Amino acid sequence: MGLPILFIFMNIIFLLFEQEVFTTSETLLPILLIFTFIGIDIVIRPISEKKDEYNRLVISISFLALPIMLFLPYIEGQILIQNQFFMKVIGLTSLIGNVILVVGGAILVLSRIQTGEYGGPKIVIEDKHRLITTGLYRYIRHPMYSGFLLLFFGYSFSFGSIIITVLILIIFFVIFKSRMDLEEKLLLSSFGEEYQSYIERTNRLIPFLY
């Protein structure tokens, strides 16, 4: 029952005001893809019994804003295709966006799997916590956040959105940066030189760049 409820919640604005979005493959595909990856991610993530060190209000607001973030790229795309130039390129942005969405979703799910019991949504240090530095974590320290950013970039861009795509990326980056800062502070206090060495040989989100 949880996944159908999640689908309704994520698409509540579409269901109420823009049901035609579900009638064409160009608009339905990114909706199904992002729901699939977010659904899988929610199902497989472990939930720690410890108290989350991060501000829960930020997470709650972000989650409640999800239907709006999924709806606005579509609206911007509908406005842009009134222009002949954008109407011609919308097919290309749809293809590129969906490919990026799938790549981001795959990175998100794979990184969640690779962290195992330490890959929950809460920022906590478990009693027998250990560093994960293999797989995707061999190259970047926060592949889950990289996956999320690519996932939402691909989704938004698939509708031909430009302004909303940039705004969503900025919002998520600000949130993720605050989470990365807190995570790394906690990990440094727990693992000391081991984590400092890991920081020195890896980047946060993008190999060789950041």
Residue 207 included in any domain? no
Note whether 45 and 124 are within 8 A (CB).
no
Cα separation of 160 and 86, whole Å?
8
Q: Which domain range does residue 148 map to? A: 2-201
DSSP 3-state percent helix, strand, coil across the chain (nearest 5): 75, 0, 25
Distances in Å between the Cα of 128 and the Cα atoms of 31, 68, 166 are 38, 39, 39
Residue 210 included in any domain? no
pLDDT at position 98:
97
Residue 208 included in any domain? no
pLDDT at position 208:
87
How many separate domains does the chain show?
1
Q: What is the per-residue pLDDT across 183-209, written as a single tens digit (0 to 9) for each? A: 999 999 999 999 999 999 999 999 988
Q: What angle do CA 77, 28, 11 make, to 5 degrees?
A: 85
Residue 99 included in any domain? yes
pLDDT at position 194:
94
* Side chain identity, residue 78: Q
What letter does residue 131 receive in the DSSP assignment?
A: -
Which residues are 32's β-sheet partners? none
Q: What sign does the dihedral 8-13-17-21 (CA atoms) show?
A: negative
Q: What is the per-residue pLDDT across 158-190, written as a single tens digit (0 to 9) for each? A: 999 999 999 999 999 999 999 999 999 999 999
Cα 121 versus chain centre, distance? 12
Residue 1 has pLDDT above 60, yes or no: no
CATH number at residue 112: 1.20.120.1630
Query: With the CA atoms of 40, 178, 103 and 3 taken in that order, what torsion angle do they form, in degrees rounded to the nearest 10?
Result: 20
Note whether 154 and 108 are within 8 A (CB).
no
Determine what percent of the chain is predicted with pLDDT higher than 90.
Answer: 75
Residue 209 included in any domain? no
User: Any idea how long the chain is?
Assistant: 210
Determine what percent of the chain is predicted with pLDDT higher than 70.
Answer: 99
Q: What is the per-residue pLDDT across 76-107, written as a single tens digit (0 to 9) for each? A: 999 988 776 677 777 889 999 999 999 999 99
Residue 24 included in any domain? yes
The pTM score is: 0.93
Cα separation of 120 and 143, whole Å?
14
- Give exposure, 84-100, as e/b (b: 16+ Cβ within 10 Å): eeeeeebeebbeebbeb
**Neighbouring C-alpha atoms within 13 Å toward the C-beta of 196:** 5
What letter does residue 192 receive in the DSSP assignment?
A: T
Note whether 107 and 147 are within 8 A (CB).
yes
Residue with tokens 């794979």: 110
Residue 206 included in any domain? no
